[in-house]
Amino acid sequence: MTTDFLYDLTDGIATLTLTADSGVPTLDAGFRAGLKSSVDRLYADRDAISGVIVTSAAKVFLAGADLTEFAASPPAAELFGMVSGIKADMRRLETFDRPVVAALNGTALGGGLELALACHHRIGVDRAGVEYGLPEVMLGLLPGGGGVTRVVRMLGIQEALMQVLLRGQRHSPARAVDAGIVDELAAPEDLLDAARAWIAANPGAAQPWDRPGYKIPGGTPSNPKLAMTLPAFPATLSKELKGAHYPAPRAIMAAAVEGSQVDFETAQRIETRYFVSLATGQIAKNMTGAFFFDLQAISSGASRPEAPRWKASKVAVLGAGMMGAGIAYACAKAGLPVILKDVSLEAATRGLDAVKKMARRKPEIAELVTPTGELADLAGCDLVIEAVFEDTALKQKLFAELEPIVAPDALLASNTSSLPITTLATAVQRQQDFVGLHFFSPVDKMMPVEIIRAAKTSDAALARAYDVVLQIRKTPIVVNDRRGFFTSRVFGAFVLEGMALLGEGVPAATIEQAALQAGYPVGPLAVTDEVTLTLPYKLRQETLAAAEAEGFDHPHHPGEQVLTRMVEEFGRKGRAAGGGFYDYPEDEQKTLWPGLSAFTGPGCAFGEIQERFLYAQVAETLRCVAEGVVEPGPDVNVGAILSIGFPAWTGGPLRYRDQVPGFDARAAELAEKYGERFRLP
């Protein structure tokens, strides 16, 4: 992968055009050399230049850093020098005494937007799918190419942190203008003309911070008004992070506040030092590994069998409840016409109403969804996704009835979270075209989809399922058909450990807080309330019955006793049933149910509680790998983080196991102390 700049000087306008042999420009070695030589030529040709346009020949303006360079773990001093060199050349560009405008012909994220911020004016392209932003925090990094320094000087400390830096927002073109990181928009065909017009109208352009008398919007920390609000920022950040150890947001805040109090060049050095400290740390390596390299491998088809590419053209979604409506929305959002089927038109219409709520900002999405109560309306659908109640007989009946109606080669998929796909597939003639597509709730927000391969699923069908998940812009995770699949088993290890701790007398508030501070997005008791206690209770009963019928061992988990007492003895079945581990007063915050005081015992140390969550899930992950449920690699790490909330800072359960010294020995200690569920296979 090599990025370069094409230099053209015509009619007094110097145009620097990014190119890349891969098709996507990045801040690689070629970019660094090309930027330096292009800026050198600008200064050499200064007398002939009236303005500069920076644009790209690719569909994407500039993708950002070449993260493979960070993966090679360069020494801190070398990385500091490399980043400082890029920033020096960007600084030479923005202090060139001619107007410099960025013609952003496509997406500019991270380093791509930072290059644009070093220009005096930014014109974005008004096209669907284009994004602008600084999402480095999502990779455990900060914008190290001047992003923190410039955005703070453009927007002020508070706006820069909240609107651009701390949450890593990816803005649509219109929202980027609202946020202040893009100045105006133009149609693709008008982009370069708009850039030339701006140059002609602004011959004396310069960055605001390079003009006499410049002051940062909102002031520096010495400003009395800002001094009153700024001290609350660290506490607010800690609350948002829930006490978990994510150093990037804290480093961003520090670089922004410290950099606002010094001159531009010093602020740049402060930013670089924080960037290098993050980039050379383990957490950034973990998060980059999961959210860049692993996701890239999945999107390029790492677990997809060799087969012709396929696109669905018309989707049948069976079941218009919460899951079905969410799946219909996801498909329609990707431009697919959807037939939403339920037991009656009235029930299906309620599902459409839910789709409309999800699509409230883009009502045209809901127009692609047609509700129906008639199976005959599924004729011609080449993709079927069933999302009815978790009842094997009901699902099989539906598939048997619809198979002759839909397209003769339709892909048939069930959204079950636990029922064996191989068993469900026996209801149809074309078992080779039957797969599991396990979506996660809420579907409109959750990215992963677990693709389950049944005993007779063909490679072609698996490949089509993979393509469909990518088509609706979600993340495919491929697993084999075993009871509980992968994500449900590893999720179960987390929530059951929380219940086991409760049974040992650990206060519920301590259990929840320990999970949050370990990096889980929600505590095990709270998340169980959301999915309902009846679901794991019912699954346990079914598993016990299957174990007896099929003659396999179902290991006892101490958390199951707590689950049974909650459902059978206390009638606490979860939020939807009025309350579970928590009470849910109307129009008030939820509170822990006082009846949990019925569980008593010796308790457990806070740090060991966190260990037990992590180790229990890693052990279950390794069992899934050993049993052939899932292949070790990207699907495991990404699937665990995105679908069941395994702490993102770890990079996934396999990375966590590899990077903790003495992990296996500690797992053996926990197994001796608490049970075989911690025993590694």
pLDDT in tens, 517-527: 999 999 999 99
162, 149 Cβ separation under 8 angstroms: no
The amino acid at 346? E
What is the tens place of the pLDDT at every residue in 567-598?
999 999 999 899 999 999 988 899 999 999 99
329, 357 Cβ separation under 8 angstroms: no
Q: How many CB atoms lie within 10 A of CB 628?
A: 10
| Residue of 403, 125, 153, 418 whose CA lies nearest to 261 | 153
As a residue count, the chain comes to 681
Tokens matching residue 394: 């009901």
E-strand ranges in 33-106 read 51-56, 100-104
As a whole number, mean pLDDT of residues 191-219 equals 96
pLDDT computed for residue 550 by the predictor? 74
Residue whose token pair is 């010094």: 262
Query: Which of 1-15, 301-315, 437-451, 531-545 comes out lowest in average pLDDT?
Result: 531-545
pLDDT at 1 over 80: no
pLDDT at 420 over 70: yes
What is the tens place of the pLDDT at every residue in 144-160?
999 999 999 999 999 99
Higher pLDDT among residues 558 and 236, named by residue: 558
109, 207 Cβ separation under 8 angstroms: no
Write the burial class of residue 128 (CB in 10 Å: 0-12 exposed, 13-18 middle, 19+ buried): exposed
The angle that helices 606-626 and 663-674 make with each other, rounded to 10 degrees, is 100
As a whole number, mean pLDDT of residues 30-59 equals 97
What is the tens place of the pLDDT at every residue in 37-50?
999 999 999 999 99
Written as one string, the DSSP assignment of 487-505 is HHHHHHHHHHHHHHHHHTT
For 634, half-sphere exposure in the C-beta direction (CA atoms, 13 angstrom radius) is: 21
Cα(450)–Cα(68) distance, rounded to whole angstroms? 28
Three-class DSSP category at 173: helix
457, 423 Cβ separation under 8 angstroms: no
C-alpha of 140 from chain center: 13
Cα(202)–Cα(52) distance, rounded to whole angstroms? 12
Return the sign of the alpha-carbon dihedral for residues 525, 530, 534, 537. negative
CA geometry: angle 626, 632, 637, nearest 5 deg: 120
Is-catalytic flag, 586?
no
Beta bridge partners of 370: 339
263, 270 Cβ separation under 8 angstroms: no
Three-class DSSP category at 300: coil
SS3 string, 111-163, reads: HHHHHHHCCCEEEEECCCCCCEECCHHHHCCCCCCCHHHHHHHHHCHHHHHHH
154, 94 Cβ separation under 8 angstroms: no
Average pLDDT, the chain: 94
Higher pLDDT among residues 228 and 353, named by residue: 353
As a whole number, mean pLDDT of residues 374-384 equals 97
pLDDT computed for residue 222 by the predictor? 86
pTM, two decimals, is: 0.90
Return the sign of the alpha-carbon dihedral for residues 236, 238, 241, 243. negative
Is-catalytic flag, 136?
yes
pLDDT computed for residue 226 by the predictor? 83
C-alpha of 520 from chain center: 14
The angle that helices 247-259 and 147-155 make with each other, rounded to 10 degrees, is 60
Please report the domains of the chain, with CATH numbers, ordered by start residue. 3-280 (3.90.226.10), 315-480 (3.40.50.720), 487-678 (1.10.1040.50)
At a CB cut-off of 8 Å and minimum separation 6, what does 382 contact?
312, 313, 314, 406, 407, 409, 410, 411
Write the burial class of residue 601 (CB in 10 Å: 0-12 exposed, 13-18 middle, 19+ buried): exposed
pLDDT computed for residue 536 by the predictor? 86
| Residue of 569, 585, 503 whose CA lies nearest to 537 | 569
Tokens matching residue 467: 């393509």
593, 579 Cβ separation under 8 angstroms: yes
Q: In what order do the strands lie in the sheet containing 434-439? A: 369-372, 338-341, 315-318, 383-386, 411-414, 434-439, 448-453, 475-480
Higher pLDDT among residues 178 and 230, named by residue: 178
Tokens matching residue 96: 């060139």
Catalytic: which of 69, 78, 94, 114? 114
Return the sign of the alpha-carbon dihedral for residues 671, 674, 676, 678. negative
| Residue of 317, 391, 322 whose CA lies nearest to 350 | 322
Catalytic: which of 136, 271, 504, 560? 136
Q: What percent of the chain has pLDDT over 90?
A: 86
As a whole number, mean pLDDT of residues 300-304 equals 94
Cα(208)–Cα(607) distance, rounded to whole angstroms? 50
Cα(594)–Cα(585) distance, rounded to whole angstroms? 13
Q: How many CB atoms lie within 10 A of CB 400?
A: 13
Three-class DSSP category at 339: strand
At a CB cut-off of 8 Å and minimum separation 6, what does 72 contact?
none
Query: Which of 481-485, 530-534, 647-651, 667-671 comes out lowest in average pLDDT?
Result: 481-485
Cα(398)–Cα(408) distance, rounded to whole angstroms? 16
Q: How many CB atoms lie within 10 A of CB 160?
A: 29
Q: Is the peptide bond before 305 cis (omega within 30 degrees of 0)?
A: no
CA geometry: angle 597, 601, 607, nearest 5 deg: 100
Tokens matching residue 455: 């005993």
pLDDT at 645 over 80: yes
Residue 224 DSSP code: H
Beta strand 51-56 with 100-104: parallel, antiparallel or unpaired?
Answer: parallel
